[in-house]
Amino acid sequence: MIIISYLYIGIDDTDSPDGMCTTYLACHIIRKLKENDISLIDYPRLIRLNPFARFKTRGNGGVSFKIANDDKANLAKQIVLDEVAALSMFDCDNTNPGVVFYDGEITKEMQDYAFSAIYSFITIDEAEEFGKSVGCEIHKFKKGRGIIGSIAAISLPLTDYTYELLAYRIPENYGTERHIDYDSVIEMDNETFPDTFENVDYSEKYIAIEPKTPCPVLYGIRSNNVESLNRAREIVKVNEPIEDYCIFLTNQHTDMHIQKADKISEMKQFGCYEITATVKDRPHVIDGGHMFFTVFDESGEIECGAYEPTKNFRKTVSYLREGDILKLYGGIGGQNTFNIEKFQVIELNDVEYKNPICECGKRMTSAGKNKGFKCKKCGKRISSSQKVNIKINRSLIKGQFYETPVSARRHLSKPLCRM
């Protein structure tokens, strides 16, 4: 069979906090397509978009896949529309599915649109106008907000990518406790890390492959390659039936949401950035256990936060001192605080300025402004007000990266094992 062109299919906004998952719906549709002798070309894609998008259910992910644009394309479109209509969580106000079909080349302007869906906010009208301008066939259910993510999921180029294997439960078990053998998850992690990653958060004793929501997903394993996912699937044992599995190609854990900022003044609310800056003050904790410190450069300063859910990461942050130079990665949330996802130590301030030690061995005290120092023990005075430099030991290491724990990590954040 000669394939003349592809039909791209994008689906988004079908789920609600109470159930469903757009990846599950995609997997279900893919099965129906197969029953009709329609096969996918390449893996289906799970594309994570702007982490600050207002109407996201959880991780702001849209799904896309492609098939041959042949005499079965219309049947495929009908199957997709019927299944989205049948399975989406329409009762939820915030569930507004969108389905997009596209049968041309993915153009530069479509790629730019996809990046703007990661970096900024797009309205339904803007997405519709853009989609129509490039020739997308657009289907909106209710408000149809899902078209924003559907067009982006079709259009995003993936220069860096990972894979996620998702195992789905049978519907009778939705909302009930999941039965995953945790020892087998640890064994899988031991055998397949770092090809697979984000499986277990050992510091928080947390099995990260298991969702905590009532969605159809039994577990999800993330990886750099399909071989290790297949190996991982063999190792993980569960005590409940699995309806289906699906492997998605994804932009998860690629840092695709991070833009490089040359100076602090370029950074805007709801943007995610990499910035090099100097620590201005020692980190401090406020009620609720959130930790804050300020960094500056020649253009301005910004408050940085390591929030309570980042757990032990706050301990690492607490070792920072004024004068440390860091490369920071994170996003600016609603409070205008730069939420740190990870940082690299560029320079450590390992010098402390102290009063001199007297000949008698006691540290001297100030004798008054510009009046030098005096010793309270033996009475000796010196006229110089110059403090002495003392090299101090630091717990942080120059050049090293430090990251938030798996339990607090964004879908898009690149873990250090992938750096």
User: Quick one: 147 or 348, whose CB is closer to ligand ATP?
Assistant: 147
User: Quick one: 216 or 330, whose CB is closer to ligand ATP?
Assistant: 216
User: Quick one: 124 or 242, whose CB is closer to ligand ATP?
Assistant: 124
Q: Are 80 and 99 in contact (CB under 8 A)?
A: yes
146 φ, ψ (degrees, to nearest 5): -60, -15
User: Quick one: 54 or 376, whose CB is closer to ligand ATP?
Assistant: 54
> Least separation, in Å, of the C-beta of 61 and ligand ATP?
4
> Least separation, in Å, of the C-beta of 222 and ligand ATP?
14
CA atoms within a 13 Å half-sphere pointing along the CA-CB vector of 378: 11
* Distances 288 to 101, 314, 409 between C-alpha atoms, Å: 47, 12, 19
**Cis peptide bond N-terminal to 216, omega within 30:** no
- Whole-angstrom distance, CA of residue 46 vs CA of residue 246: 11
Tokens read off for 36 = 């009709």
> Least separation, in Å, of the C-beta of 339 and ligand ATP?
18
User: Quick one: 58 or 315, whose CB is closer to ligand ATP?
Assistant: 58
> Least separation, in Å, of the C-beta of 22 and ligand ATP?
4
Pairing of strands 259-260, 272-279: parallel
Sequence-separated (6 or more) residues with CB below 8 Å from residue 305: 290, 291, 292, 335, 337, 338, 339, 340
- Closest by CA to 48, choosing from 334, 308, 258, 344, is 258
Q: Are 351 and 392 in contact (CB under 8 A)?
A: yes
> Least separation, in Å, of the C-beta of 29 and ligand ATP?
14
User: Quick one: 93 or 347, whose CB is closer to ligand ATP?
Assistant: 93
76 φ, ψ (degrees, to nearest 5): -60, -45
> Least separation, in Å, of the C-beta of 277 and ligand ATP?
26
Q: Are 176 and 166 in contact (CB under 8 A)?
A: no
Angle at 19 between CA 17 and CA 13, to 5 degrees: 70
Q: Are 245 and 257 in contact (CB under 8 A)?
A: no
> Least separation, in Å, of the C-beta of 154 and ligand ATP?
12
Residues near ligand ATP (CB under 6 A) = 12-13, 15, 21-22, 49-50, 53, 55-61, 96, 117, 121-122, 145-146, 148-149
Residue 403: strand pairing partners: 342
> Least separation, in Å, of the C-beta of 216 and ligand ATP?
10
User: Quick one: 271 or 283, whose CB is closer to ligand ATP?
Assistant: 271
Determine how many CB atoms are found less than 10 A away from the CB of residue 291.
22
> Least separation, in Å, of the C-beta of 324 and ligand ATP?
34
CA dihedral 10, 13, 17, 20 (to 10 degrees): -50
User: Quick one: 89 or 188, whose CB is closer to ligand ATP?
Assistant: 89
User: Quick one: 122 or 326, whose CB is closer to ligand ATP?
Assistant: 122
Sequence-separated (6 or more) residues with CB below 8 Å from residue 241: 169, 170, 173
User: Quick one: 13 or 198, whose CB is closer to ligand ATP?
Assistant: 13
- Closest by CA to 145, choosing from 106, 77, 78, 93, is 93
- Closest by CA to 23, choosing from 132, 152, 165, 199, is 165
> Least separation, in Å, of the C-beta of 123 and ligand ATP?
7
